[in-house]
Amino acid sequence: MYFLITTLLLGWLIWASPVLADSTLPEKQGCSSCHRFSAEESPESHKAPDLFYAGNKFQKSWLEKFLQTPVVVRKAGTSTDPDFLKASSTPAPPHPTLSGKEALAMVDYLMSLSMPGLAKGNVDDAPLSKGNKVRIKILFERNYGCIACHEGINLAGQARGGISGPSLANAGNRLTADWVFNWLKTPKKFIARGRMPFYNLDDESAIKLTKYIMSLKIGDWN
């Protein structure tokens, strides 16, 4: 009887335990030489974008695709690289690729990385009305001049804009609304010495811009 109960209990424990994300993967796959996977690592020796809050920042499906068929997001290089802008004409070297199976395991790990204490964006996913979209596009392009550093999408559905910041042309397929909201409100939480101007946006403006950014999608982007 005891044997039966123990077997059942053990079986249940094995079945119920979540699949643990493998934290040794970045080291094994050589990712740690370029990216930080924990805020404790020194930023100086890591030139590529930080990934220790990847679970907050990215959409799972974007990560899965990116790791197998990488696209260039930062055409002028990565802003944390000391050579940023000095070598603006040099395109980023091709990103390492993973097989389908490796990518899935890596995505499980990346999605498990999150930063505590982020604000709830309260950005609903109702699509913007045409009128609102036009009004916020004007904020994005003219009032705040975000377009000077970031690619958005023009009326013909093509990427257009500056390249000194990461492209936002496919942000709606790549980022999460909550993360974009947190970035706009408190970029310092994510990057100590960033290159983006601090706008000190109130919640309403941050929500508007977040909704606009999340509406930017490139249909057939891979």
Please report how many Cα atoms fall inside a 13 Å half-sphere around the Cα of residue 96, on the Cβ side: 13
Q: What is the DSSP letter of 198?
A: P
3-state secondary structure of 22: coil
**59 is a contact residue toward ligand HEC (CB under 6 A):** no
**98 is a contact residue toward ligand HEC (CB under 6 A):** yes
The window from 12-20, 91-99, 120-128, 151-159 that contacts ligand HEC (CB under 6 A) reads: 91-99
> Least distance in Å: CB of 176 to ligand HEC?
11
- Of 36, 150, 208, 211, the one binding ligand HEC by CB under 6 A: 150
3-state secondary structure of 217: coil
Nearer to ligand HEC, 73 or 159 (CB): 73
β partners of residue 58: 175
What's the CA gap between 91 and 65, in Å, rounded?
21
Nearer to ligand HEC, 51 or 207 (CB): 51
Are residues 140 and 153 in contact, defined by beta-carbon separation less than 8 angstroms? no
Q: Tell the residue number behind the tokens 């068929």, with chain if given.
A: 69
What's the CA gap between 164 and 169, in Å, rounded?
14
- The interface with ligand HEC within residues 153-192 (CB under 6 A) comprises 164-166, 168, 180, 183-184, 191
Surface-to-core class of residue 72, CB atoms within 10 Å of its CB (0-12 exposed, 13-18 middle, 19+ buried): middle
- Of 113, 118, 136, 149, the one binding ligand HEC by CB under 6 A: 149
Are residues 164 and 77 in contact, defined by beta-carbon separation less than 8 angstroms? no
Site string for ligand HEC, 11-50 (x = CB under 6 A): ------------------xxx-xxx------------xx-
**Residue ranges in contact with ligand HEC by CB under 6 A:** 29-31, 33-35, 48-49, 51, 63, 66-67, 72-74, 78-79, 92, 95-96, 98, 106, 144-146, 148-150, 164-166, 168, 180, 183-184, 191, 194-197, 199, 209, 213
